[in-house]
Amino acid sequence: MTAPSVSQTTYVLTLSCPNRPGIVAAISGKLAELDANITEAQQFDDRDSTVFFMRIVFEVAQDRTSAQQLREALAVLGNSFSMEWALHDRSVRSKVLLMVSRFDHCLVDLLYRWRIGELPIEPVGIVSNHPRDVFADLDFYGIPFHHVPVTKETKPAQEAHVLDLLASSGAELVILARYMQVLSNEMAASLSGRCINIHHSFLPGFKGARPYHQAFARGVKLIGATAHYVTLDLDEGPIIEQDVERISHADTPEDLIRKGRDIERRVLARAVRYHIERRTIINGSRTVVFTT
């Protein structure tokens, strides 16, 4: 008789702590005690800050080890090493709130990747400072759309509304898919570590408005895009992903914009995937990104 198969749950553990001998041994030993099977393990020792970073993917049998048992054991281990750690069940899709202005190419790309199963997210809302008819030719597949206009006078109320939507929807990540409004310091602080922006420039450089026109005026030979976490400092947040494309003297500003749209789409999609797969850990003004 064939033994019945045992259901496995896959978890992702991410952590950072002051570096010292014995961290990896302690973690792997504890997981072994819990009958966990490690399938991926990546680590990085930042010698400048003396902080140790690690990402571990492991499986446990559902009938042997519960999530509560894991968290209790990791809490004890975390205290002994002064760890900041997080445990995520890989089967649970990340709920995301998408924010967009008039340019919709990044939004459309994310929705396509979600629809075909390439990007395992759960979009719970689309927020725009423009009305729905601006996107009349787009199918939002039943995702709630929220028109939340903003002016200088209404900005505090508008941002409070967005935070209410975030809380009521259970979204854990906000994606600024070419949302062309500057967040207030209060809003940026409240979204620390859970808001990704795509900047249509290869940062640092050509900040602010019309970066492709700035690049054209300077005669650059490479253009790019940058996905980063939002912080209080405009376009200065920890960088998650970047990419570039070579251009020539024959390219017009319109050519740069066309090529830039392609870069923006793929850079934002990669950054979102790195985040939801728990491959990114913020390290001060930088990030540690455990890519595949």
Q: State the catalytic residues.
A: 235
What does the block give as tokens for 126?
A: 């689309």
DSSP state string for 228-252: EE--SSTT-SPEEEEEEEE--TT--
DSSP 289: E
Residue 140 burial (10 A CB sphere; 0-12, 13-18, 19+): middle
For residue 249, what are the contacts with CB-CB under 8 A and spacing of at least 6?
219
Residue 173 carries which DSSP code?
Answer: E
Helices 211-218 and 253-276: angle between axes, nearest 10 degrees: 130
Q: Which secondary structure element, helix H or strand E, spans residue 281, and what is its range?
A: strand 280-283
What are the E-state strand segments in 63-200? 84-89, 94-100, 121-128, 145-147, 173-176, 195-199
Strands 195-199 and 239-246: unpaired
Cβ–Cβ < 8 Å for 125, 171 = yes
Provide the token pair at 61: 């049998």
Residue in 203, 258, 260 with CA at minimum distance from that of residue 228:
203
Neighbours of 83 (CB within 10 A): 19
Q: What are phi and psi of 236, to 5 degrees?
A: -120, 10
282: its two tokens: 């913020």
